Chain A
Amino acid sequence: MKPVRKKRLQTVLLILVTSALGSFLIIRALDSNLDFFYTPSEIFLEEIPENKRIKIGGMVLESSVIREKTKISFIVTDYQGSISVEFDGIVPDLFKEGSGVVVLGYLKDKTIIAEEVLAKHDENYMPPSIDIEK
């Protein structure tokens, strides 16, 4: 390779390395400041103010769902810790006992008052018949 091109190649690599480093630092900084995502076992380890909107993710505990008119309450668990959630509204179709859920809301008296309940689905796709055979 000609010396001029070698120099340019070095410049290209330098651009890549510095921008990767820069974004790595930004992401690290964001991770420690902006992540309001908690798992049910983490949530009581920290002091969370009532007016701070948080996100928790986990599984809907089996036979914990109680429906009363438009209100629904259930327990979110990560099988190490758990927290109860109250929600007034429509939950998505994929909301099921034993499946993944993400809840956005406020912590009040050890309960999450949810503003939004989102259902999580995984990366597995298969026809229903195969599920029965398993």
Chain B
Amino acid sequence: MSTQDKIEDHGLLRFLTCGSVDDGKSTLIGRLLFDTKTILADTLSAIAKTSEKRGLGAVDLSLLTDGLQAEREQGITIDVAYRYFSTGTRKYIIADAPGHEQYTRNMVTAASTANLAIILIDARKGVLTQTRRHSKLASLVGIPHLIVAINKMDLADYSQATYERIKGEYLEFAAKVGIKDIRFIPLSALNGDMIVDRGDKLNWYEGPTLLEMLETAPAAHTEHTEKFRFPVQYVCRPQDSANPELHDYRGFMGRVEAGSIKVGDAITVLPSGRESTVKAVQLGGVDIGEAFTEQSITLLLADEIDTSRGDMIVKSNEVPAAVKQIEATVCWMAEAPMDRNRTYLIRHTTRDSKAKLAAIDHRLDVNTLEKVPAEKLAMNDIAQVTFKLAQPLFADPYLENRGTGAFIIIDESNNNTVGAGMIL
């Protein structure tokens, strides 16, 4: 018997933690890893030694997320780090993004793959500018579920009144910004209250612990009611194989970005508009009959249609618009500001197009959350812009479908990724 028959598998949840070191973010992550027994003895003894060296009384769990030598030298966090833990029934990937203002781009990066965000608030300080900034960014990047964790309750006498006041403040702000699915929880990451164990100081709080919230949060794409979108990554034509049966094999390889597909479905290939039906759905050359969002598969069609990387296969009754101009929210990520006179490359699904900035509608001030006029885009700016495209893209609004609503901007002179965009 395989060990995997013994336990339930609730799949995988990717989440993001927002906050600065002062909010206890590193301590929270350390606590999650420690209390789920992800931290092993040798790692623990290493951080215990460091804690002692730095003259700390107890083991400082925030040291678990201590970064690179390059970062320690400068005393800053420069990048998103990914950490892992598992409860036996669910696997978690934490994207740990630094919280400072100049690192808007890191938070957008970390949020792009997350399905849930934990916003940390220091119970002594309440809702701050950075709380609003993180929440707004999380909602812009389309994270469907938010947990507002009011931390450091141990330094606020575990006071229910403090918790309720901060919760009220946040809800007032959230209503203005339009954030919907929010849950609140009081915590002490330092002492481990309400993370994995309930502790005995927060008995007035009757809701689930943080880990229980994570265990029951919906994974991405559980509904599969979305329109089928299949960008072609690679075409498999094993003609030179010794097996004559494979001579006519033509497999379109890709990942289902949204929706589902099964044998017999009527499909359209874009941009040609040619129609056919699905002859087979395969994985590793083996028929699997049907497939859902996020599965990497190979599609075989009933008709011979010339198709290559960059094309998209969709269901014939759900064809997306082909657009040569897009309006989008863009986060600029390069040191050099965006040059309005230059042509950039936009990569959307598996398709590239040259693009030029047509207009900057406004920039978002991430601190006041006000729309302000802008002439240029500098690093960490977030703005609503219009691009003109050389090639049509097959796009959906980002908030309907992240996979076909997102794009990156590439500077062809140095091949760097200089921006990220979300189609409106």
Is the A/B pair a real complex?
Answer: no
Chain B residues in contact with chain A, CB under 8 A?
none
